[in-house]
């Protein structure tokens, strides 16, 4: 790679620098700095490994940092696909902006099959409006959403887009009034946005 880079230099092509550590504790400290570089974590590679396509295991290990999280209220639901085509599994989550809920993410994964059936029953009993396949539901259920990154997005009502949002847990312990706010999202954007 280094030889190719020298022969064909380009400003959009960089070689990752080699980082060394003496212990797992050192590696953990280095990994914690990933967000400062707008990275998901570290890629650990055997020195003699080759680049291979696909998701081969063994020579390379992606050691991700813990995801960012925020609590949102489900406001819309839509039926899923494949084996879940008859269940409401696709959810739009919102955060508070004053007294209004503003959508900020869609999440399609993270719940157990039992939880999906429970949410599906809730959607069927608490649908307020129908827009094609989308159901507006009573704003009551709170979910913790995990995500890898955050950035500005004029396309979204919240003005923010999340990278790889997914449900990390159902916050049955939390009333909707305690879900996060748009200001909380903006603070995450300021600290971790890229």
Mean pLDDT, residues 120-148: 97
Mean predicted lDDT score pLDDT of the chain:
90
Q: In terms of Cα–Cα distance, which of 103, 74, 104 is closest to 91?
A: 74
Mean pLDDT, residues 110-125: 96
pLDDT of residue 149: 87
pLDDT of residue 78: 96
Look up residue 159 and give its two tokens: 């003005």
pLDDT of residue 20: 84
- Residue-wise pLDDT tens digits, 177-190: 999 999 999 999 99
Mean pLDDT, residues 31-44: 81
Between 73 and 49, residue with greater pLDDT: 73
CA distance linking residue 8 with residue 192, whole number of Å: 33
- Residue-wise pLDDT tens digits, 155-177: 889 989 999 999 999 999 999 99
Residue 55 has pLDDT above 70, yes or no: no
- Residue-wise pLDDT tens digits, 58-93: 788 888 888 999 999 999 999 998 888 899 999 999
Tell me the domain boundaries of the chain: 1-64, 68-192
CA distance linking residue 123 with residue 80, whole number of Å: 13
CA distance linking residue 166 with residue 186, whole number of Å: 19
pLDDT of residue 179: 98
Is residue 158 a contact partner of residue 103, using CB atoms and an 8 Å limit? yes
% the chain with pLDDT above 70: 97
pLDDT of residue 56: 66
Question: What is the CATH superfamily name and number for domain 68-192?
Answer: Nucleic acid-binding proteins (2.40.50.140)
Q: In terms of Cα–Cα distance, which of 107, 106, 91, 94 is closest to 176?
A: 94
Residue 122 has pLDDT above 90, yes or no: yes
Q: In terms of Cα–Cα distance, which of 138, 139, 147 is closest to 178?
A: 139
Burial 128-147 (b: 16+ CB within 10 A, else e): eeeeeeebbbebebbbbbbb
pLDDT of residue 194: 65
């Amino acid at each position: 790679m280094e030889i190719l880079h020298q022969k064909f230099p380009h400003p959009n092509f960089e070689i990752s620098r080699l980082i060394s550590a003496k212990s797992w504790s050192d590696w953990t400290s280095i990994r914690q700095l990933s967000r400062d570089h707008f990275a998901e974590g570290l890629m650990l590679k055997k020195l003699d490994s080759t680049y291979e396509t696909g998701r081969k295991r063994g020579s390379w290990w992606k050691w991700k940092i813990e995801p960012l999280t925020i609590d949102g209220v489900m406001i819309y639901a839509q039926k899923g696909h494949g084996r879940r085509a008859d269940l409401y599994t696709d959810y739009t989550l919102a955060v508070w902006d004053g007294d209004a809920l503003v959508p900020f993410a869609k999440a399609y994964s993270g719940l157990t099959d039992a939880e999906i059936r429970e949410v599906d029953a809730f959607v069927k009993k608490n649908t307020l409006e129908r827009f094609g396949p989308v159901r507006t539901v009573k704003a009551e259920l709170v979910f913790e959403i995990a995500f890898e990154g955050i950035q500005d997005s004029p396309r979204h009502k919240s003005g923010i887009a999340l990278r790889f949002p997914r449900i990390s847990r159902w916050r049955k312990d939390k009333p909707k009034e305690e879900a996060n706010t748009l200001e909380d999202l903006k603070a995450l954007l300021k600290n971790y946005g890229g």
